[in-house]
Amino acid sequence: MNPTARYAEILRSKVIPAPRRLTLLSEDAMASISEETRIILETRVPEAKALILRAFVDWWNVVPQVETRPLESPLNPEGYALKIDATEIRLRAESEAGVRNALWTLRQLAEAERGAKTVSRWNLPLVDVEDYPETAFRCLHLCWFPETPAFEIERSLRMAAFCKFNYVILESWGMTRLHSHPEYCWDEFAVEPETITALVELGRSLGVTVIPQFNLFGHATLSRTGTGKHVLLDSHPEYESLFEPDGWSWCLSNPETRKYLTEIVQELIQIYQNPPFFHIGCDEAYNCGSCSVCEKDLPGYMLKHIQFFHDLLASQGIRAIMWHDMLLAQDDTTWRGYTACGYLFDNTLDLVNELPKDIILCDWEYGSPLEKDADKPWPTVRFFREKGFDVMPCPWNNEKGIWSLGDLVHELQLPGIVITTWHQCHDSQNFTKFFWVGAQAAWHPTYRQLYGLNVVPREYINRMVRLVNRDAGAKTYRQFGTAQHQIPPLSIQEIG
């Protein structure tokens, strides 16, 4: 490979997700970012000029000269075109989202001047870039546990924007102190609603819509099942009637359960500033229908429960999102090898035909596609789509699975994909999968910016982390990087 071609590949590797087309115009010259930088912005939203000015001041401490012009030919709503030469930057975009996406690309391409001890100037390579997303709903799912520091949530939100995700689902595991039910949180770790709202507003400023997730069926403990903790019943056993006898799932036959959950949902809608979507959970409802009342008609109670909250949200212009797994039976051989958490004896399989079809089903599949379905992988996604639902596949930390589910989004023209992270947004290996593989699978899944040319994607991810930590005002050792510690804190047994 000649040097020019190699340098072009290096530049493509620096941009995450990699652009569809990046042409190097010259490897012998760079454009300086300075007060003299001239930017021609062609767009249908002239007010987007403010985004450019703010970004150049925040990132490079310069105020460029920006001239706006009408966009003559249409582009993808979130797409952009960039041409950087020695005299000007020409940026074409339909919308503010397109301008933001172009700015994220510029920031990743920028390089501190060479031959200096400290930075006094930043430069840009002379390139011609065209890019746009294939997928409209590009989402990162974040969990806030008691062990998760607030700075990690903000870092992940900023990274999501940097990697051109446009949605973040935020699931609070007992971390939000609700005014309606202050008892339903881990008191010593809880954050105030104002903190959540500030994250919602930060996301909006970055072009990311933050969506609440609250579990209305299973996971009612707001704790991982293996820990035996229960956010409410450990301290308030007087609320046991709201749950199935083991406490893991909500008791759907108790009318007080619906009242309790309605008050929480309504408050979360306010905290998240009337979001366009609300994730109602409903996964892994183990031992559901086990109380003396629910067991008599579990399918009926489930349908009424989900229908009620669907209607409540719809009345406020909010679309419900729901996990898929309780709608499939794990003892049904049809789904063997795929995620299914219901049971045939629960008689709930007809719910898929009765639920409102405007519920978005999130099909979480955390492995790789099975060989037996090589011709048509991921049959559960196909099943729900054939039933009339909008379906979004949700991979986790399996790289092959992420790519494969991204391919499925392309094949079936699905509305989106959700990259789940759970407790691993401080794990460097998985961090790269979420923000390098995941971002590319979400942006345009059929494009593979593969390893090679001695490029290590993790190091470019680390560079992005330094930038977003700088934006967030990180000051301490634990805040820097992706991991709080280089070596896990030693126990007494390990130190003698």
Structure confidence at residue 452 as a pLDDT band (50, 70, 90): very low
Q: What are phi and psi of 441, to 5 degrees?
A: -65, -30
Strands 89-93 and 38-43: parallel
pLDDT for 488 equals 79
Please give the full DSSP string across 299-341, using - where no structure is assigned: HHHHHHHHHHHHHHHHTTT-EEEEESGGGSBTTSGGGTTS---
pLDDT single digits (tens) 164-217: 999 999 999 999 999 999 999 999 999 999 999 999 999 999 999 999 999 999
Cα–Cα dist 322/278, whole Å = 9
Residue with structure tokens 């924007």?
161
Query: Across all residues in the chain, what is the average pLDDT?
Result: 94
Asked if residue 327 has pLDDT above 80, the reply is yes
pLDDT single digits (tens) 382-405: 999 999 999 999 999 999 999 999
pLDDT single digits (tens) 189-202: 999 999 999 999 99
pLDDT for 447 equals 72
Cα–Cα dist 251/241, whole Å = 8
* Average pLDDT of the residues in 446-464: 72
pLDDT single digits (tens) 75-124: 999 999 999 999 999 999 999 999 999 999 999 999 999 988 999 899 99
Query: Of 463, 390, 486, 406, whose CA–CA distance to 440 is shortest?
Result: 406
pLDDT for 457 equals 79
Asked if residue 451 has pLDDT above 60, the reply is no
Break the chain down into helix, strand, coil percent, rounded to 5: 40, 20, 45
Q: Which two tokens stand for residue 431?
A: 């961090």
Q: Which two tokens stand for residue 21?
A: 């087309």
Asked if residue 254 has pLDDT above 90, the reply is yes
Query: Of 339, 351, 230, 248, whose CA–CA distance to 291 is shortest?
Result: 248
Q: Which of 34-48, 331-345, 417-431, 478-492 has the lowest mean pLDDT?
A: 478-492
Single-letter code of the amino acid located at 308: F
